[in-house]
């Protein structure tokens, strides 16, 4: 499917120079002279090499057609992560490079994920938008820091740090965004 060069978004997979690339970062640039363009950092899905490319709105790129299938995360064994198809019970093992280093801290046993495949080869994982973790360490509230939207650092049971509201204490279960690791809300259960 052809899309405009300025329609590329982070996480999108495109075909460029006869290879599959995942857009990692994008930046809209409007120089003083000439037309605007989209500066895109691309990562080769197969080899992991990176490439910075400029796309103008007038250019078109081929967006890769990916099949998405729901799988359940089972376990990690060193650098390999094993997932099970929910209906056929077929298992797929993927390396940490294919899963994505930035997603690994969010994976939890039994988590339902979407595995993206291109021509029957798994190429990536999409996590649910939010995940629940327990706060294992939270700083004490500083007196007088109760003004609007003051946050404090906290350490989660997956080893990640995030900023939480002052009322969150050690042992509290919270919901965080898997996109950027930010606090969403206190877990309901």
What number is the average pLDDT over the span 120-148?
82
Task: Give dist(CA 5, CA 83) in Å, integer.
Answer: 34
Per residue in 63-111, pLDDT tens?
A: 988 899 999 999 999 889 999 999 999 999 998 888 878 888 999 999 9
Which range has the worst mean pLDDT, 16-20, 24-28, 142-146, 166-170?
A: 142-146
What number is the average pLDDT over the span 21-49?
88
User: 121 lies in which domain range?
Assistant: 67-126
Last residue in a domain, options 63, 84, 109: 63
pLDDT for residue 147: 57
Last residue in a domain, options 31, 63, 95: 63
180 has pLDDT over 80: yes
Structurally, the chain folds into a number of domains equal to 3
Question: Whose CA is closest to 25, among 102, 140, 86, 83?
Answer: 102
Whether residue 119 is found in the same domain as residue 169 = no
Whether residue 54 is found in the same domain as residue 101 = no
What number is the average pLDDT over the span 56-64?
89
């Amino acid at each position: 499917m052809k899309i405009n060069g300025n329609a590329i978004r982070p996480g999108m997979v495109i075909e460029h120079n006869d290879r599959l690339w995942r857009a990692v970062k994008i930046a809209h640039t409007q120089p003083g002279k000439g037309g605007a363009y989209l500066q895109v950092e691309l990562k080769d899905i197969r080899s992991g090499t990176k490439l910075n490319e400029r796309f103008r709105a007038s250019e078109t790129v081929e967006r890769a057609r990916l099949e998405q299938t729901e799988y359940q995360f089972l376990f990690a064994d060193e650098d390999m992560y094993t997932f099970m198809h929910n209906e056929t019970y077929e298992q797929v093992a993927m390396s940490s490079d294919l899963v994505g280093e930035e997603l690994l801290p969010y994976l939890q046993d039994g988590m339902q994920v979407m595995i993206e495949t291109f021509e029957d080869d798994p190429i990536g994982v999409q996590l649910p938008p939010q995940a629940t973790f327990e706060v294992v360490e939270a700083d004490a509230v500083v007196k007088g820091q109760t003004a609007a939207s003051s946050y404090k650092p906290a350490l989660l049971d997956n080893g990640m740090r995030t900023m939480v509201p002052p009322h969150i204490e050690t042992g509290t279960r919270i919901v965080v965004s898997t996109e950027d690791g930010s606090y969403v809300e206190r877990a309901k259960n």
